């Protein structure tokens, strides 16, 4: 029995049957003692190892968070990149379910955002421009006419300060980065903290926080490419996906949202579990613009900052399931459309189109130019806070 379960039972019994309280309490204390002994033996841990150097000599480290169930998450201090997420399949076989590289040089020279923290503004800002409080800001255009994932040197290409957070039934890392005023054209010194936490329920949680000294815009996400059948095992077209959304944001030819539309009757309707490959080659204009799925869904959720279930991904072959809950209003579903066989990943296999998929929880792309979208403005005195939880389990549990 887990400690919190034991406490729950005690409090329930205590209130239901006052007279039994001493017995229940003694039982719970015994139970908690056994549990503490077990968690001490199997407690999660954090390992740190050298992961090479940046071209300027800065050392890079890889931290591996491991929980009591042997699930692990690898993270480097460059870009806050998640290098691996290792989880069991239905038979207990552990495999890495995210795409990545083995060496820092590949992450520095050719990373298509594998595992990164994307910011200051994840996804696109049209024509690399926005106006805030009457002033126009010009950003770096690094994706055709648009600015993508924070510009030429986004948060994915900086060294983050890492603090280890050892714990009882969870282990974590706090990553901090100060984005200076004017960086990539954005106003305000922005202090960002991203906390990665892995608990013993095989939940990997990301908490984002930021403050600024001038009004700015911010949209942070995590850009892992998932393949629940295992990194390097082929395409994700057989995975089944459910997205809790009645609407999505269709795009123009440069992937900038043109508004909000219903998913009804389109290949974007994932309200029921649907095989990703079923409609990906439909001659739909939206799919052609993205070369597959590369769109933002408008999540059906209360507007109260709570964690709400956004998406569920299942792989029938291994039985692995991932559920993503978030406080965010949107999720970008991207099917690795630009992987073209030129990269060799951490499994020693070459990546081709569709070999991984991203489910990036976020505010909507280009919100600074769409006053009708939820606001991405952060003002001095406010704290930006969002959270996303990735829960891994199998069809056997
Ligand atoms: C996001 C974008 C895609 C692409 C990937 C990274 O998902 O929407 O167009 O840039 O990131 O390649």
Asked whether 31 lines ligand 1 (CB < 6 A), one says no
Q: Flag whether the pTM goes above 0.75.
A: yes
**pLDDT one-digit tens code per residue, 217-259:** 999 999 999 999 999 999 999 999 999 999 999 999 999 999 9
Q: Within 10 Å of residue 382's Cβ, how many Cβ atoms?
A: 12
High-pLDDT (> 70) share of the chain, %? 89
Asked whether 334 lines ligand 1 (CB < 6 A), one says yes
pLDDT reading at 17 higher than 80: no
pLDDT, average across residues 315-322: 98
Q: What is the pLDDT of residue 9?
A: 29
Q: What is the mean pLDDT of the chain?
A: 91
Q: What is the pLDDT of residue 43?
A: 76
pLDDT, average across residues 162-166: 97
Work out the pLDDT band at 308, boundaries 50, 70, 90: very high
Q: What is the pLDDT of residue 326?
A: 98
Residue in 100, 111, 113, 360 to alter for ligand 1 test, most ligand atoms within 8 A of Cβ: 113
Q: What is the pLDDT of residue 268?
A: 98
**pLDDT one-digit tens code per residue, 100-136:** 999 999 999 999 999 999 999 999 999 999 999 999 9
Residue in 145, 334, 342, 366 to alter for ligand 1 test, most ligand atoms within 8 A of Cβ: 334
Q: Which of 314, 360, 363, 390 is catalytic?
A: 360
Our answer to whether residue 382 is catalytic in this structure is no
Q: Report DSSP letters for 109-152, one per residue.
A: HH-SSTTEEE-SB-SEEGGGEEEETTEEEE----BTTBEETTST
Work out the pLDDT band at 184, boundaries 50, 70, 90: very high
Q: What is the pLDDT of residue 7?
A: 29
Q: What is the pLDDT of residue 167?
A: 84
Cα-to-centroid distance, 332 and ligand 1 (Å): 9
pLDDT reading at 198 higher than 80: yes
Q: Which residue has the higher pLDDT, 11 or 198?
A: 198
Cα-to-centroid distance, 5 and ligand 1 (Å): 42
Ligand 1, atom 1: nearest CA belongs to which residue?
123
Asked whether 192 lines ligand 1 (CB < 6 A), one says no
How far, CA to CA in Å, does 44 sit from each of 68, 74, 90, 161, 202?
Answer: 5, 13, 22, 22, 11
Q: What is the pLDDT of residue 168?
A: 87
For residue 358, give the ligand 1 atom closest to its CA.
Answer: 7
Where b means 16+ CB within 10 Å and e means fewer, 143-182 reads beebbbbbbeebbbbbbbebeeeeeebbbbbbbebebeee
How far, CA to CA in Å, does 252 sit from each of 91, 96, 286, 342?
Answer: 44, 35, 8, 27
Q: What is the pLDDT of residue 263?
A: 98
Our answer to whether residue 360 is catalytic in this structure is yes
Q: Which residue has the higher pLDDT, 7 or 364?
A: 364
Among the residue ranges 8-22, 48-62, 67-81, 138-152, the one predicted with the least confidence is: 8-22
pLDDT, average across residues 166-172: 93
CA–CA dist 219, 210 (Å, integer): 10
Among the residue ranges 32-41, 55-64, 245-254, the one predicted with the least confidence is: 32-41
Cα-to-centroid distance, 248 and ligand 1 (Å): 16
pLDDT reading at 148 higher than 60: yes
Residue in 122, 123, 151 to alter for ligand 1 test, most ligand atoms within 8 A of Cβ: 123
Residue 208 contacts residue 342 (beta carbons within 8 Å) = no
pLDDT reading at 31 higher than 60: no
pLDDT reading at 42 higher than 80: no
pLDDT, average across residues 165-169: 91
Ligand 1, atom 2: nearest CA belongs to which residue?
123
Ligand 1, atom 3: nearest CA belongs to which residue?
294
Asked whether 144 lines ligand 1 (CB < 6 A), one says no
Work out the pLDDT band at 1, boundaries 50, 70, 90: very low
Cα-to-centroid distance, 337 and ligand 1 (Å): 8
């Amino acid at each position: 029995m887990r400690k919190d379960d034991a406490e729950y039972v005690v409090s329930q019994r205590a209130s239901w049957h006052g007279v039994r309280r001493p017995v229940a309490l003694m039982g719970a204390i015994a139970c908690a003692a056994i549990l503490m002994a077990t968690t001490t033996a199997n407690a999660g841990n954090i390992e740190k190892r050298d992961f090479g150097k940046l071209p300027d000599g800065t050392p890079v480290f890889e931290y591996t968070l491991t929980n009591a169930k042997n699930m692990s998450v690898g993270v480097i201090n460059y870009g806050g990149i998640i290098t691996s997420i290792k989880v069991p399949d239905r038979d207990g076989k552990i495999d890495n379910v995210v795409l990545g590289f083995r060496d820092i040089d590949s992450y520095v020279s050719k990373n298509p955002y594998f595992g990164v923290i994307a910011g200051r503004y994840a996804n696109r800002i049209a024509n690399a421009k926005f106006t805030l409080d009457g002033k126009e800001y010009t950003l770096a255009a690094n994706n055709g006419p648009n600015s993508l994932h924070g510009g030429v040197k986004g948060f994915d290409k900086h060294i983050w300060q890492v603090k280890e957070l050892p714990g009882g039934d969870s282990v974590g890392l706090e990553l901090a980065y100060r984005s200076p005023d004017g960086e990539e054209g954005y106003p305000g010194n922005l202090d960002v903290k991203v906390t990665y936490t892995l608990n013993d329920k095989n939940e990997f949680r990301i908490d984002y926080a930021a403050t600024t000294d001038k009004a700015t815009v911010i949209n942070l996400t995590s850009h892992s490419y998932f393949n629940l059948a295992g990194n390097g095992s082929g395409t994700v077209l057989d995975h089944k996906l459910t997205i809790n959304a009645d609407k999505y944001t269709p795009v123009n030819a440069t992937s900038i949202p043109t508004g909000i539309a219903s998913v009804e009757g389109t290949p974007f309707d994932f309200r029921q579990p649907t095989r990703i490959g079923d409609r990906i080659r439909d001659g739909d204009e939206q799919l052609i613009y993205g070369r597959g799925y590369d769109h933002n869904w408008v999540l059906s959720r209360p507007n109260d900052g709570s964690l709400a279930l956004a998406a569920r991904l299942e792989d029938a072959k291994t039985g692995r399931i991932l559920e993503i809950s978030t406080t965010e209003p949107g999720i970008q579903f991207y099917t690795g459309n630009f992987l073209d066989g030129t990269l060799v990943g951490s499994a020693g296999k070459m990546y081709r189109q569709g070999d991984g998929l991203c489910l990036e929880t976020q505010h909507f792309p280009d919100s600074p130019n769409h006053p009708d979208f939820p606001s991405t403005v952060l003002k001095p005195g406010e704290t930006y806070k969002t959270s996303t939880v990735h829960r891994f389990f199998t069809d056997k549990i």
